Amino acid sequence: MRITKTELFTIFSIFSPYIFILFFFRLAGIFGFLGLLGLSIFLILSSLLILVLTENTKFKKVFYFILTVISIVFFLSYRNGLIDKSDKMFFAIHKSQMLEIVSKIEKARLKDAKFKIPQPNFATVDTLEQGEVIFTLDGMLDNCVGIAYSKENQNPGYTNCGRIIEWKKLEEHWYLWYTV
């Protein structure tokens, strides 16, 4: 059984939302990510339209339509799990850079010295009074998301963006947080 270009395009379009959320959720800004999801919808609809117009058998048309519906329902049902995986992948990619910043901050605290906190290209970095190091990844005003280093493994209750409503453990001393 030979797969046609149209079928390959359809298969890619069905998997595109999963690819975009896993690899670009934290790397793209909110508008960039919404654009990628819009592109996914466009790819899915255009591939279905091409299949309806070009396929000769009703079986294939119905098969791809059902496959697309199942894929979309699955995506909507498990999007929170995909976002969690995306956050863990983002943390794994940037962990070494975050650790380096945390160690510089800890050394400066031990020496009771002042220094300019390095600002990586993927986040803004702040410290809280209790000693937590806050990496703000995205957000605006009082609705933000980020990663925190907490030596005491305690939720500080707030960040520079507002009150923390979600505090998820990524690994020992590292947490993903959301504010409202």
Tell me the pLDDT tens digit for each residue of 123-146: 889 999 888 999 998 887 778 899
Across the chain, what does the average pLDDT equal? Answer: 86
β pairing state of 143-149 and 162-171: unpaired
Rounded to an integer, the average pLDDT of 72-91 is 88
Read off φ and ψ for residue 5, nearest 5 degrees: -60, -40
Query: In 3D, which of 156, 153, 100 has the Cα closest to residue 127?
Result: 156
All residues at 6 or more sequence positions from 129 whose CB lies less than 8 Å from its CB, including other chains = none
Residue whose tokens read 């005003």: 141
Rounded to an integer, the average pLDDT of 56-62 is 74
Decide which of 57 and 82 is more confident. 82
Domain ranges of the chain: 5-77, 94-179
pLDDT greater than 90 at residue 100: yes
Q: For residue 34, what pLDDT is reported?
A: 84
pLDDT greater than 80 at residue 151: yes
pLDDT band for position 23 (cuts 50, 70, 90): confident
pLDDT greater than 80 at residue 177: yes
Identify the bridge partners of residue 135 per DSSP, sorted by sequence position: 125, 147
Query: In 3D, which of 1, 4, 81, 82 has the Cα closest to residue 40?
Result: 82
CA distance 145 to 133: 14
Q: For residue 1, what pLDDT is reported?
A: 65
pLDDT band for position 101 (cuts 50, 70, 90): very high
Query: In 3D, which of 126, 174, 128, 172 has the Cα closest to residue 149?
Result: 174
- Determine how many CB atoms are found less than 10 A away from the CB of residue 26: 22
